[in-house]
Amino acid sequence: MNFKNVKLVVSDMDGTLLHSDYSINPEFFNIYEKLKSLGISFSVASGRQYYSLLKIFDSIKNDIYFIAENGGNLVYCGKTLITREINQDLISEVIKLCVPISGAEVLLCGIKSAYASKSAPEFAEHIKQYYPKNKVLSSLSEPLEDEIVKIAIYNREGVENSVYPIVSYLNKEYNVKISGKHWVDISLKNSNKGEALKEVQKRLNISKEETMVFGDYLNDEEMMHEAFYSFAMENAHPDLKKSANFETVSNDQDGVLKILQEVIRQNS
Residue 43 to residue 65: CA distance in whole angstroms: 5
Domain identity same for 94 and 58: no
* Residue 208: predicted pLDDT: 98
For residue 1, being part of any structural domain is answered with no
Neighbouring residues of 8: CB distance < 8 A, sequence distance ≥ 6: 40, 41, 42, 43, 200, 201, 204, 206, 210, 211, 212
What's the domain count of the chain? Answer: 2
The answer to whether residues 174 and 238 belong to one domain is no
154 band by pLDDT with thresholds 50, 70 and 90:
very high
Same domain, 196 and 121: no
**End-to-end alpha-carbon separation of the chain, Å?**
16
Is 99 found in the same domain as 174?
A: yes
Say if residue 209's pLDDT is above 90.
Answer: yes
Q: How far apart are CA 44 and CA 66, in angstroms?
A: 5
Strands 65-68 and 73-76: antiparallel
Least confident interval from 113-122, 180-189, 240-249: 113-122
The CATH number that applies at residue 254 is: 3.40.50.1000
Residue 135 lies in a domain: yes
Indicate yes or no: pTM above 0.85.
Answer: yes
CA quadruple 129, 131, 135, 141: dihedral sign: negative
What is the rounded distance in angstroms from the CA atom of residue 123 to the CA atom of residue 111? 20
pLDDT value of residue 143: 84
What confidence category does residue 138 fall into, taking pLDDT thresholds of 50, 70 and 90? confident
**Average pLDDT for residues 200-223, to the nearest whole number?**
98
pLDDT of 118 reads 75
Confidence at residue 174, expressed as pLDDT on a 0 to 100 scale = 96
Structural domain including 129 reads 88-188
99 in the same domain as 72:
no
Q: Check whether 122 has a pLDDT greater than 80.
A: no
Q: Report pLDDT for 161.
A: 92
Q: Mean pLDDT throughout 38-58?
A: 97
